[in-house]
Structure 1
Amino acid sequence: MKQSTQVPQRPWRVGPLPALAAAVVIFLLSGCATQTLEPLDVSDVQVLTVAERFSVDTDGTYHGWWDQSQLPGKPTNLIIFSTKQNKVIQRIGTPPELTADNYSFLRSSRWANNVIIVLDPARNRTLETFAVDLDGNPTTGPVRVITIDGYEGWWNSTPENGDLRRLPNETVAVNTRSNKVVDGYNRTTKSTKISYTVHPNPAWPQESVIIIDTATNKIVDSFPVDENGNPKN
């Protein structure tokens, strides 16, 4: 009976193939590095306005990109928060219950008074913000609080002729929305930090900044402002 002879297994040769692959990769990478990319011309692209990107129904439901067809990686569990109402006004999908960190973020002093925030609660990340008017319609207003450093006018300026005789020496600007001093100036000391006790008066113009001459406690000027202190036109 003829005995079978076992043929030894030949080991796989792994040396040349990886080397060849590496050479191909190097060639490809070096090929990409030499390519020149043409910049995309977006000069004719029309940027959508806030009113075109978002809308609100008569029942207060907001619509936007979250209503469109599902895209890979698109967040689906969101909340819509109103800074004016200080509460969640709409839920999209099945978002988790808000945490203390979520509320701390939403109720931060950074936001303006009438802003809609679209939040991904799971990541505590803002995906969209836009200002709305008193009726809830999207506007192009600021979404962050704008810090007003002060106001300039004839009461704290120097005329071209240098004659200061008829100008108040010290004034303060009081916002009648809060009845707080928001600005001041003393011509003698050049200081803007004026100690002044505000005594609110119902006769003062509402939603305005009034300029008070501290020597007489009389209003020498006033102008209307919005909720962030910006002078209205």
Structure 2
Amino acid sequence: MNTLNALRSVIRGRVWLPGDPGFDGARRPWNLAIEQPVAAVVEVADAEDVAALVRHARSAGLAIAAQPNGHEATGRTDGTILLRTGRLETLEVDPVARRARVGASVPSGRVQAAAAPYGLTGLPGSSPVVSVAGVALGGGLSWFGRMYGWVADSVTAFDIVDSQGRQRHVTAGTDPDLFWALRRRRLRRRHRPRTGPARRPAPVRRPDVVGGRARAGRDGRLPADHRRRPARTDGLAGPAALPGRRPHGGHRRHLPGRREPGA
């Protein structure tokens, strides 16, 4: 039995190898324009499966690339085992402590929906379908970032599998260096945590809050209904909530230290 075939006896979740029915679909990323050649795809059943996979790959000298929902696609995956965490769906909201326990595949939209009945909200990324783990480990710029900072700054603990295949609960008290690194994007994602970001009181709905993007005209001016809106004071962020700046939407960005042509 070769190393890859042995995965079936190591993992309780699903394993796809080249030539298996469904292999091509399992290895495809969200961005279909990127081809991901991999040696195998593994959908783990739980954290113990992740630990077993890491130990097996380590002993065989194979690399692992984690991709919960198919984002962060890359074509540099030859000989790699692609780790899917779609079955790690834990989601528990504690409205009293204002904490949530979030599995590695849970998208921001599900956390928002679970927190909303309690008048709370998470710090979501720009898309409701991207996993909380992916957003948090990438730093995470939220629509509420002006008031509450990066998504990573609200994470209070990580349940991880380290490079030795050991399950660990990482907090500022148990391992301050690793905790700092996980929240500061200094480690590549060789493992996926269950994160516990703090929930925030949901902002009150206001008629002058606009979602989406606005496109400036050729004269560089915003549409009147965006141009005349008052400055945000409640911490909400977004293209239409940044007075004096052009919104993102197919135009040049004015970088600090550079002058616009003709300025």
Could you say which structure has the higher helix fraction? 2
Answer yes or no: same fold by TM over 0.5: no
**Could you say which structure has the greater relative contact order, defined with CA pairs below 8 angstroms and 6 or more residues apart?**
2
TM-score band w.r.t. shorter chain: under 0.3
Structure ID, larger Rg: 1
